[in-house]
Structure formats: structure tokens, C-alpha cells
Chains A and B, each alone.
Chain A
Amino acid sequence: MTRVATLLRYRGREGMLAWAFHRISGIGIFAFVVLHVIDIYLVGGNPELYDEVLAFYASIPGRLLEVVLGAALLYHALNGLRIIIIDLWPAMTVYHRALWWISWAIFIIVGVPGALIILRPVWLPLLQQLGLA
């Protein structure tokens, strides 16, 4: 527990969280990229197996994982842009906290509709059952 507390205290606030999320999302995306290059190889190497993998991508658990992947990708992309802006334009350092909140605003505005599109097979049948769609 001490270790977790120390981890959370280290430098602290937005800057440290931005860094930690960036690293965690980066490692997650890396793991998916390794899987994804192997699965796309199957298009030529073993099309039947590829179709089975894609059937998982289209399933509900697959879609939930894709929403997590998309969130990691979007966060990493936006925070990466924030890092590059501060690197190339050091005067922006003063506003690094504002940039962090702007990146979260874009994350929500873009990410929520995106997640809803991917999760359509989850919520659409529910709406139909309720007679709303």
C-alpha cells in the first residue's frame, strides 16, 4: 500500500497522471498492435482462421474491448499532441494544465459517440424491446 501511495504522490496532479495514463495506454496499444499484425497476416496465410478472429471482434465482448482500445488510442493521441505542443512551443508550458483539460473535453466529445457506434449491437436491441426504435 505504501508503494501505491508513493506512486500516486510522486510529482502528483495532472502532469503525473497524464504521464501514467500515456504509458499505460501506450503499452496496451502496443500489445494490440502485435496481435493485430499477426491476425492481418492470416488474411493471406489462413483466411478461415482470420474470419473466426473477426467474428470475435464483432461479438459483444470483442466490441467492449475495442471501445477500451479506442479510448486508449484517442487518449494517447490527444495527450501525445499536447506533449508535442509543449515541446515545440515551451511558452505553452504555462497552460499545460488547461491543455490537459482541453484534451479530456475532446476525448469525451469524440469518444462517447464513437463508443455508442461500436456498441450499437448492445443498445439497439434494448431500445427495440422497449419500442423506442
Chain B
Amino acid sequence: MGASDRPRVDVSPVSRGRMRPRGARRELVIWYLMRVTGVALFVLALAHFSILHFIWDPAEQTAAFVANERWNQVFWRGFDWLLLMTVLFHGFLGVRTVVHDYVHRPRWRTGLLWALYVTGAFLFVIGTQVILTLPVPGAEGASIR
């Protein structure tokens, strides 16, 4: 069987992941976005996991710990917000691919994708809100000790 009459598949024989999409521009943009956010997450997510498991132990972590030791610095608030943004793009576009692969009935697919995007938007709102509004320790009106 020649390469030309082989049916087009999305997963390459060497599993390089999803092949670079041809044709649809939106799919190509998403394909690149997955890789760019993936590299960012390699640094951000692994650093986040390492800091909160190897430098600090889960046993010392409370709401006061987050307020006094982590989000007392603008840098870590920014770091965590960047992590939130990249993980929302990467995770939700990744699950979108999974839904496209396995859910073929149009109504189910549309419904699930909407549920997915609404969940993503919700997490964006609550995550951004807590990062922006948690009082800085010692500031007027700070409620966490």
C-alpha cells in the first residue's frame, strides 16, 4: 500500500502525538498552542510541584501558610497565575481533543464541549479572583493570620 492511498490518521505510526494539522487554521493554532503551553508547563508545573513537595512539606501548609509564605510576594502570585493560564489552555484543549476522539454524536459532543468551556471559564474566574484579592499579610483589612 503506497503512502498516498493510506487512510489519513491523526496519530502517527511513531506516536509523535497528534500530527501537525493541515487545512483548518484553527486546528493548527491549537496544535502550536499545545506545544508552547506544554514547554511552559514543563517549567511552571514541575517547579510548582517540587517547591510544594520537596522544599515545603504538605504538613506545614495551611491557608495562613499560603498567605504568609507564598502569596506575600507579587512574584509568586504572578507565577501561580501564569501557571493557571497555561494549565487551563493546555488541559482544556487537551480534553477537547479527547472529546473529539471519542464522542461522535453531535449533541453529546456539543454539550460536553460547552460543559468543558464553562468549567474552564469558571476556574479562570475563581482562580484569578483568589490570586488578586487574597489580602497581603499586614495590610489593612487582612483577615488571615
Q: Taking beta carbons and an 8 Å cutoff, which residues of A are in contact with B? A: 11, 14-16, 18-19, 22-23, 26-27, 29-30, 33-34, 37-38, 40-45, 47-48, 50-51, 54, 57-58, 62-63, 66, 69-70, 73-74, 77, 80-81, 83-84, 86-87, 93, 96, 114, 117-118, 120-121
| Cβ-defined contact, B17 with A23, below 8 A | no
Q: Is there an interface contact between B15 and A96, defined as CB atoms closer than 8 Å? A: yes
User: How many pairs, one residue from A and one from B, have CB atoms within 8 Å of each other in the complex?
Assistant: 122
Partner of A96, one of B16, B87, B129: B16
Main secondary structure on B side of the interface with A: helix
Residues of chain A within 8 A (CB-CB) of B111 are: none
B47 to chain A, nearest CB (A): 11
CB distance from B83 to the nearest CB of A (A): 10
Name the one of A40, A43, A83 contacting B16, with C-beta atoms under 8 angstroms.
A83
Give 17 A-B pairs besides A29-B91, A118-B53 with Cβ atoms closer than 8 angstroms.
A11-B13, A15-B13, A19-B11, A26-B94, A30-B95, A37-B127, A43-B67, A54-B62, A77-B46, A81-B42, A86-B17, A87-B16, A87-B20, A93-B14, A93-B16, A96-B16, A114-B50
Residues of B near A42 (CB, < 8 A) are 63
Selected A-B contacts with CB under 8 Å, 27 pairs: A11-B15, A14-B15, A19-B11, A19-B15, A22-B17, A29-B91, A37-B123, A37-B127, A40-B66, A43-B66, A44-B129, A44-B134, A51-B62, A54-B61, A57-B61, A62-B58, A63-B58, A77-B41, A77-B46, A80-B42, A83-B15, A83-B17, A87-B20, A87-B35, A93-B16, A118-B53, A121-B59
Known: A18-B15, A86-B14. A40 touches B46 (CB 8 A): no
Give residues in B with beta carbon < 8 Å to A.
11, 13-17, 20, 35, 38-39, 41-42, 45-46, 49-50, 53-54, 57-59, 61-64, 66-67, 71, 84, 87, 91-92, 94-95, 98, 119, 123, 126-127, 129-130, 133-134, 144
Contact check: which of B11, B46, B98, B133 meets A44 at CB < 8 Å?
B133
Collect the chain B residues with CB atoms within 8 Å of residue A74's CB: 46
CA distance A51 to B144 in the complex (A): 12
- Inter-chain CA distance A73–B64, complex, in Å, is 27
Name the residue in A22, A47, A96 with the highest tally of chain B Cβ atoms < 10 Å from its Cβ.
A47
> CB-CB < 8 A to B13: which residues of A?
11, 15
Contacts of B20 in A (CB 8 A): 87
